Amino acid sequence: MPEKSTTARAQAGKRKGKSPSTQAGEYVREEIHHVRSGKHGAKSTKQAIAIGLSKARRAGVKVPSKKGSSNESNGHGEHHSSASHKTSPTRSGATTRALKREGHQAVSHSALSHHAKEAASERTHAERSASARKGQSKRTATERSASARKAARTRAGK
Protein backbone atom coordinates (compact mmCIF):
# COMPACT_ATOMS: atom_id res chain seq x y z
CA MET A 1 0.00 0.00 0.00
CA PRO A 2 1.55 3.33 -1.04
CA GLU A 3 1.96 6.10 1.51
CA LYS A 4 -0.54 8.98 1.43
CA SER A 5 2.18 11.53 0.75
CA THR A 6 3.33 9.57 -2.33
CA THR A 7 -0.20 9.40 -3.72
CA ALA A 8 -0.66 13.12 -3.00
CA ARG A 9 2.55 14.01 -4.90
CA ALA A 10 1.51 11.84 -7.86
CA GLN A 11 -1.96 13.44 -7.95
CA ALA A 12 -0.42 16.91 -7.75
CA GLY A 13 1.74 15.97 -10.75
CA LYS A 14 -1.33 14.80 -12.63
CA ARG A 15 -3.09 18.12 -11.94
CA LYS A 16 -0.04 19.98 -13.28
CA GLY A 17 -0.27 17.88 -16.46
CA LYS A 18 2.81 15.74 -15.84
CA SER A 19 3.17 12.55 -17.88
CA PRO A 20 2.08 9.19 -16.39
CA SER A 21 5.73 8.08 -16.19
CA THR A 22 6.54 11.15 -14.06
CA GLN A 23 3.59 10.38 -11.77
CA ALA A 24 4.75 6.75 -11.51
CA GLY A 25 8.22 8.02 -10.61
CA GLU A 26 6.86 9.03 -7.20
CA TYR A 27 5.96 5.41 -6.46
CA VAL A 28 9.36 4.18 -7.69
CA ARG A 29 11.00 6.82 -5.46
CA GLU A 30 9.01 5.51 -2.49
CA GLU A 31 10.06 1.93 -3.26
CA ILE A 32 13.74 2.91 -3.44
CA HIS A 33 13.33 4.64 -0.08
CA HIS A 34 11.77 1.46 1.39
CA VAL A 35 14.69 -0.69 0.23
CA ARG A 36 17.29 1.82 1.46
CA SER A 37 15.61 2.16 4.86
CA GLY A 38 15.56 -1.61 5.30
CA LYS A 39 11.82 -2.25 5.06
CA HIS A 40 12.71 -4.98 2.53
CA GLY A 41 15.35 -5.68 -0.09
CA ALA A 42 15.45 -6.16 -3.86
CA LYS A 43 17.33 -8.64 -6.03
CA SER A 44 18.11 -6.01 -8.66
CA THR A 45 17.51 -2.38 -9.52
CA LYS A 46 15.02 -3.52 -12.16
CA GLN A 47 13.01 -5.38 -9.52
CA ALA A 48 12.80 -2.32 -7.26
CA ILE A 49 11.61 -0.19 -10.20
CA ALA A 50 9.09 -2.86 -11.25
CA ILE A 51 7.59 -2.96 -7.75
CA GLY A 52 7.20 0.83 -7.81
CA LEU A 53 5.55 0.77 -11.25
CA SER A 54 3.22 -1.99 -10.11
CA LYS A 55 2.17 0.15 -7.14
CA ALA A 56 1.56 3.06 -9.49
CA ARG A 57 -0.65 0.96 -11.78
CA ARG A 58 -2.69 -0.28 -8.81
CA ALA A 59 -3.09 3.33 -7.66
CA GLY A 60 -4.59 4.23 -11.04
CA VAL A 61 -1.65 5.82 -12.85
CA LYS A 62 -1.97 4.97 -16.54
CA VAL A 63 1.60 3.70 -17.04
CA PRO A 64 1.93 1.72 -20.26
CA SER A 65 3.46 -1.73 -19.91
CA LYS A 66 6.81 -2.30 -21.61
CA LYS A 67 6.51 -2.92 -25.36
CA GLY A 68 6.55 -6.60 -26.24
CA SER A 69 5.76 -7.85 -22.75
CA SER A 70 4.13 -11.29 -22.53
CA ASN A 71 0.69 -10.08 -21.42
CA GLU A 72 0.51 -7.52 -24.19
CA SER A 73 1.59 -9.90 -26.95
CA ASN A 74 -0.64 -12.86 -26.05
CA GLY A 75 -3.73 -10.85 -25.08
CA HIS A 76 -3.98 -12.31 -21.56
CA GLY A 77 -3.31 -9.02 -19.77
CA GLU A 78 -6.97 -8.14 -19.28
CA HIS A 79 -7.68 -11.48 -17.54
CA HIS A 80 -5.33 -10.71 -14.66
CA SER A 81 -6.59 -7.37 -13.43
CA SER A 82 -5.98 -6.82 -9.72
CA ALA A 83 -9.53 -5.49 -9.30
CA SER A 84 -11.09 -8.88 -10.03
CA HIS A 85 -9.42 -10.77 -7.18
CA LYS A 86 -7.43 -10.22 -4.01
CA THR A 87 -4.05 -11.87 -3.51
CA SER A 88 -4.25 -14.51 -0.81
CA PRO A 89 -2.56 -13.65 2.52
CA THR A 90 -0.35 -16.73 2.16
CA ARG A 91 1.02 -15.61 -1.18
CA SER A 92 1.32 -11.99 -0.08
CA GLY A 93 3.25 -13.03 3.04
CA ALA A 94 5.54 -15.28 1.03
CA THR A 95 6.38 -12.39 -1.30
CA THR A 96 7.13 -10.08 1.62
CA ARG A 97 9.36 -12.67 3.33
CA ALA A 98 11.23 -13.31 0.07
CA LEU A 99 11.84 -9.56 -0.37
CA LYS A 100 13.07 -9.25 3.22
CA ARG A 101 15.76 -11.86 2.47
CA GLU A 102 17.11 -9.80 -0.45
CA GLY A 103 19.94 -7.29 -0.20
CA HIS A 104 19.92 -3.49 -0.31
CA GLN A 105 22.73 -2.86 -2.82
CA ALA A 106 20.24 -2.86 -5.71
CA VAL A 107 19.24 0.75 -4.97
CA SER A 108 22.64 2.18 -4.09
CA HIS A 109 23.64 5.38 -5.91
CA SER A 110 26.12 3.48 -8.08
CA ALA A 111 23.59 0.74 -8.93
CA LEU A 112 20.96 3.29 -9.97
CA SER A 113 23.54 5.21 -12.00
CA HIS A 114 24.65 2.00 -13.73
CA HIS A 115 21.03 1.09 -14.52
CA ALA A 116 20.29 4.55 -15.94
CA LYS A 117 23.35 4.45 -18.21
CA GLU A 118 22.48 0.94 -19.41
CA ALA A 119 18.86 1.93 -20.09
CA ALA A 120 20.01 5.00 -22.04
CA SER A 121 22.45 2.93 -24.12
CA GLU A 122 19.53 0.76 -25.31
CA ARG A 123 17.88 3.83 -26.83
CA THR A 124 19.00 5.24 -30.17
CA HIS A 125 20.84 8.55 -30.47
CA ALA A 126 17.74 10.09 -32.09
CA GLU A 127 15.51 8.97 -29.20
CA ARG A 128 17.89 10.39 -26.58
CA SER A 129 18.23 13.62 -28.53
CA ALA A 130 14.46 14.01 -28.95
CA SER A 131 13.97 13.38 -25.23
CA ALA A 132 16.54 16.06 -24.37
CA ARG A 133 14.91 18.55 -26.75
CA LYS A 134 11.50 17.84 -25.23
CA GLY A 135 12.94 18.48 -21.74
CA GLN A 136 14.58 21.70 -22.83
CA SER A 137 11.37 23.01 -24.42
CA LYS A 138 9.66 22.84 -21.02
CA ARG A 139 12.31 25.01 -19.36
CA THR A 140 12.29 28.77 -18.90
CA ALA A 141 15.02 30.98 -20.35
CA THR A 142 16.63 31.28 -16.88
CA GLU A 143 16.69 27.51 -16.43
CA ARG A 144 18.16 26.98 -19.92
CA SER A 145 20.83 29.58 -19.19
CA ALA A 146 21.77 27.90 -15.90
CA SER A 147 21.90 24.54 -17.66
CA ALA A 148 24.20 25.94 -20.37
CA ARG A 149 26.54 27.46 -17.74
CA LYS A 150 26.72 24.11 -15.93
CA ALA A 151 27.49 22.30 -19.21
CA ALA A 152 30.25 24.81 -19.98
CA ARG A 153 31.79 24.28 -16.52
CA THR A 154 31.66 20.52 -17.03
CA ARG A 155 33.37 20.78 -20.44
CA ALA A 156 36.02 23.14 -19.03
CA GLY A 157 36.81 20.67 -16.24
CA LYS A 158 37.62 17.84 -18.65
Mean pLDDT, each 10-residue run in order, the chain (158 residues): 91 92 95 95 95 94 76 52 76 90 93 95 95 89 93 91
The predicted pLDDT at position 77 comes to 52
pTM of the shown model: 0.74
- Domain span including residue 48: 4-65+104-122
Decide if 14 is inside a domain: yes
Decide if 55 is inside a domain: yes
DSSP 81-130: -TTT----HHHHHHHHHHHHHS-SGGGSHHHHHHHHHHHHHTS-HHHHHH
Domain count, the chain: 1
The predicted pLDDT at position 158 comes to 76
- Sequence-separated (6 or more) residues with CB below 8 Å from residue 101: 41
What is the Cα Rg of the chain in Å?
Answer: 19
Decide if 154 is inside a domain: no
Closest CA to 52 of 20, 29, 83: 29
The predicted pLDDT at position 68 comes to 57
Decide if 158 is inside a domain: no
Decide if 155 is inside a domain: no
Decide if 98 is inside a domain: no
